[in-house]
Amino acid sequence: MQLQEFADRSHLDSSTIEAWMDAEWLVAHRPGHPFSEQDLARVRLIEDLKGDLGVNDEGVALVLYLLDQLYGLRCLLRDIQAMRITADDRTH
């Protein structure tokens, strides 16, 4: 989705979006359609961390970093499992 739609749906102003992108809490992924539904979910998480839980900016950065690491590991594990299944299919 484009920046304006993302801003409307996330209820964030452009300066907040820019600040969060500068902090690498949000990353525009693709030219033309830089934001996704996952980015909207990330905004909700950031808002929950900052608002409901009172986490400071450094804490938000740490939580997001750890979640990104966990997601990356889950993707890697899924790829390894898929390769294993493919290798098992070739041997049978």
pLDDT digits (tens, 9 = 90+) for 44-78: 999 999 999 999 999 999 999 999 999 999 999 99
What is the percentage of the chain residues whose pLDDT exceeds 90?
Answer: 73
Model confidence, pTM: 0.78
CATH code for the domain in which residue 50 is found: 1.10.1660
* Two tokens, residue 59: 């804490």
Confidence check: pLDDT of 32 > 80: no
- Residue-range definition of the domain harbouring residue 45: 3-91
Output 6-10 pairs: Cβ under 8 A, ≥24 positions apart.
6/34, 6/35, 6/39, 6/40, 9/40, 10/39, 10/40, 10/43
Q: How confident is the model at residue 87 (pLDDT cuts 50, 70, 90)?
A: confident
Average pLDDT over residues 1-19: 92
In three-state secondary structure terms, 13 is coil
**For the chain, what is the domain count?**
1
